[in-house]
Amino acid sequence: MRPGAELDIVELAGGVVLAAAILALWRKDLRALISLLALQGVALATLAAVLAVHDDDVSLGVVAGVVLVAKGIVIPGLLARVVRSDPGSRETSPLVNVPASLVAAAVLVVVSYLVTGRLSSLFPDALTRLAPLGLATVLVGFFVLVTRRKAVSQIVGLLLVDNGIALVAFLLTAGFPLLVELGASLDLLLVVVVLQVLTTAMRARFGHVDLDQLRELHD
């Protein structure tokens, strides 16, 4: 892709995805985290739409629409419903405090630039150059998964990982074959539905959704 308005939008969208992931470490309010996920979804859809126009690729356009609906609207909506029904669990109570988390995020960004150096040096391309943004988002997602113990914040971690992978996929390959993309989106949607049902069931049964207090199964 040549420099121009299109590339600017792609770069901006990639930056927004990573920035939203890092902001997710900073904000403790679960409602704010969900808005950040929605923002990521919209950014990913915009990126896919720009690539679709640039490549004249109809199926990628369809994918952009699916991403917008699934990641931008439906999934954040489902999570927001869980949080609304339980005012007690709005705070994430991370195991690692915010300044330390932000330092860790900075390290993770550097690591992902080092790891993906090979990709960008082999195939120097305006888009490949941006791949570290996606990988950094994946790593920040893992960090959230490890350090946050509330059920909803774990779902947020999973979705951050997934959005990061989607970003890498769009930047490196301009999207998978349509059938695979649709299947993957459907799978993701169903996983979130399953997790939502389980969260509701856990709250009904245990009265909380704090995973540190689930300790019946261990060796």
Partner 1 sequence: MLLLAIVCVPLATGVLAGVFAWRCAVGWATVLAKTAVVGLGVALAVDTDSNRVVSGLDGALRADALSAYMVVVIGIVSLLASIQSVRYLQTDVALGEHSVRHASLYSVLVEVFVACMLAAVLAANLGALWVAVEATTIATTFLVGHQRSDKALEASWKYVLICSVGIAVAFLGTVLVYFAAIHVAGHPTGASVLDWTSLMHASRHLDPGVLRLAMGLLVLGYGTKVGLAPMHSWLPDAHSQAPAPVSALMSGVLLSVAFYALLRFKAIADVALGPQFTRTLLVIAGLSSLLVAASLLLTQRDLKRMLGYSSLEHMGLLALGAAAGTTLAIAAVLLHILGHGIAKAVLFLASGEVLIVEGTTEIDKVPALLTRRPLLGGIFGFGLVALLGLPPFSLFVSELNMIRGEVAVGLGWAAGLSLLAMAVIFAALMTHSRNLLLGGPTATGNATAQATPRLVGIPLVSGLVACAFLGLSAWPLQSLLYAAARVVVR
Closest separation in Å from C-beta 18 to partner 1: 16
| DSSP three-state, residue 43 | helix
Query: How many CB atoms sit inside 10 A of residue 213's CB?
Result: 11
* Integer Rg of the chain from CA: 18
Q: Is 37 in the site for partner 1 (CB under 8 A)?
A: no
- Shortest distance, position 50 Cβ to partner 1, whole Å: 19
Q: How far is the CB of 160 from partner 1 (least distance, A)?
A: 10
Mind spelling out the 3-state secondary structure of 104-130? HHHHHHHHHHHHCHHHHHHCCCCCHHH
Is residue 173 a contact point for partner 1 (CB under 8 A)? Answer: yes
Q: Hey, is 29 helix, strand or coil? A: strand
Of residues 100-139, those binding partner 1 (CB under 8 A)? 115, 118-119, 122-123, 138
| Amino acid at residue number 173 | T
Checking phi first, is residue 174 left (phi over 0); if not, alpha (psi -120 to 50) or beta? left
Q: How far apart are CA 35 and CA 23, in angstroms?
A: 11
Query: Is the Cβ of residue 99 or residue 189 nearer to partner 1 in the bound state?
Result: 189
Q: Does 55 bind partner 1 (CB under 8 A)?
A: no
Residue 216 binding partner 1, by CB under 8 A: yes
Residue 217 makes contact with partner 1 by CB under 8 A: yes
Rounded to 10 degrees, what is the CA torsion of 138, 18, 185, 123?
Answer: -80
From 38-46, 48-56, 89-97, 168-176, give the range in contact with partner 1 by CB under 8 A.
168-176
Rule CB under 8 A: is residue 144 a binding residue for partner 1? no
Assess 154 for contact with partner 1 (CB under 8 A). Answer: yes
Give the residue from 34, 10, 9 showing the smallest Cα distance to 192: 34
* Nearer to partner 1 (CB atom), residue 70 or residue 119: 119
Q: Does 56 contact partner 1 by CB under 8 A? A: no
Any idea what the Cα angle at residue 112 is, between residues 185 and 178, rounded to 5°?
A: 20
Residues in the site for partner 1, rule: CB under 8 A?
Answer: 115, 118-119, 122-123, 138, 142, 145, 151, 154, 158, 161-162, 165, 168-169, 172-173, 176-180, 183-184, 186-187, 190-191, 194-195, 198, 201-202, 205-206, 211, 214, 216-217, 219
